[in-house]
Amino acid sequence: DILIEQTDPEIFAAIQAENKRQEQHIELIASENYASPAVMAAQGSQLTNKYAEGYPGRRYYGGCEHVDIAEQLAIDRIKTLFGAEAANVQPHCGASANEAVFLAFLKPGDTILGMSLAEGGHLTHGMSLNISGKWFNAVSYGLNDKEEIDYDAMERKAHETKPKLIIAGASAYSLKIDFERFAKVAKDVGAIFMVDIAHYSGLVVAGVYPNPVPFADVVTSTTHKSLRGPRGGIILMKAEHEKAINSAIFPGLQGGPLMHVIAAKAIAFKEAMAPEFKVYQKQVLRNADIIANTLIERGLRIVSGRTESHVMLVDLRAKGITGKEAEAVLGSAHMTINKNAIPNDPEKPMVTSGVRIGTPAMTTRGFKDEEARQTAMLIADVLDNPRDEANLAAVRAKVHALTTRFPVYS
């Protein structure tokens, strides 16, 4: 810190302010978490200086003997965690992990079938402005009238459109996904089956969410969400796809791997093997369940009626407030969430009628049942009276009282 302060006071000030925000606010963005100090330290290590194009034992640069150890540890650990036959730990992020799968299996113009962004999917699963929607013929499935994945419609569309690739996985879907059913459909139509568990991977490792690895050809994930590692991506795959995926990542899509991040991934995977990680993930689920039920008590609607994971979508229409305004007022009360479209949302994507709430970060700082309930009550207090500055100030003070009791790093 002293070095940054001396070298670049402006960046130092921005980092300090962000540290304060992370300590003071209740972080409820479902895709965020607090990485451990060891994970962060590895990213600030000398490994950032090393070029290592290629894979352990087969590099295009000299001097890779030590980074090889780090990458092999990351590969071995993640394979063990998920029971995977093979793994690639080099994707720079979740999006590039998904792009590597496309590059390995598809040609421009091929048909892919993924979950619609508007109903909970991710933009890399076929959204029109993303490469997945621009370069491929993207067909989508969504939810039925119970706001559960419409497996029948997905199956029908698969038979009608004969996709080369079927994608399961979501960014804003609170229920368990039936990966076995997807796998059967993919087999019936001769598609490659990919699952993107970016959101759920930490839960999967702890055994509290279904593991798609036995059913899928390839499974992609980020490492920085519920898995609580550094920002980055991974790909798990059947051994038969290892060669195609590895050459899609390098030299297909990326140059030198980020060895400091890969070392941090290895550390996070070791942390995820510890018994405490399972205890943590169980509490992530409990906290989400408590928040969902408390918000229902306070007059809000949860999309799909409940959560079976770390995440939920809240329909705000009963309170007469948009997602955009809710994000702003909750932010001013120092609770960080993101606006999110709900199924059949009448508002524009930049406005929305919903917010997405997730519990991985608050649970890392030590929030348990009581604090989860308090957090939900504070959210509802804001939404009941969003334009009253005195109300927002009162909630903010209660948020600070809570977060001061549960420091993240200090």
> Binding site membership for (6S)-5,6,7,8-tetrahydrofolate: which residues?
117, 121-123
Q: At residue 68, what is the residue type?
A: D
Which one from 124, 220, 222, 359 is the annotated catalytic residue? 222
State in angstroms the smallest separation of the CB of 16 from ligand PLP.
Answer: 25
The one catalytic residue among 164, 225, 356, 396: 225
E strand or H helix that includes residue 372: helix 369-384
Closer residue to ligand PLP in complex, CB, 32/110: 32
Interatomic CA distance for residues 154 and 236, integer angstroms: 24
Give the SS3 label for residue 315: strand
Measure Cα distances from 398 to 16, 374, 406 in Å: 23, 9, 13
Residues near ligand PLP, by CB under 6 A: 31, 93-95, 122, 124, 169, 171, 196, 198-199, 222, 233
Task: Give SS3 for 311.
Answer: strand
Active site residue 222: yes
Residue nearest to ligand PLP (CB): 94
Contact predicate 240/84, CB 8 Å: no
Q: Residue 156: what residue type?
A: R
> In the bound complex, what is the minimum distance in angstroms from residue 91's beta carbon to ligand PLP?
8
Nearest Cα to 218, choosing from 188, 191, 189, 256?
191
- Bind-site residues: 117, 121-123
Q: In the block, which residue shows the tokens 């991934």?
A: 265
Tell me the closest approach of the beta carbon of residue 169 to ligand PLP, in angstroms: 5
Q: Which amino acid is present at 100?
A: A
Half-sphere exposure for 38 (CA within 13 Å, toward CB): 9
Active site residue 53: yes
DSSP state of 281: H
**Closer CB to ligand PLP, 113 or 402, in the complex:** 113
Of the pair 205, 329, the CB lying nearest ligand PLP is at: 205
The per-residue DSSP string of 48-92 comes to GG----EETTEESSS--HHHHHHHHHHHHHHHHHHT-SEEE---S
Active site residues: 51, 53, 196, 222, 225, 231
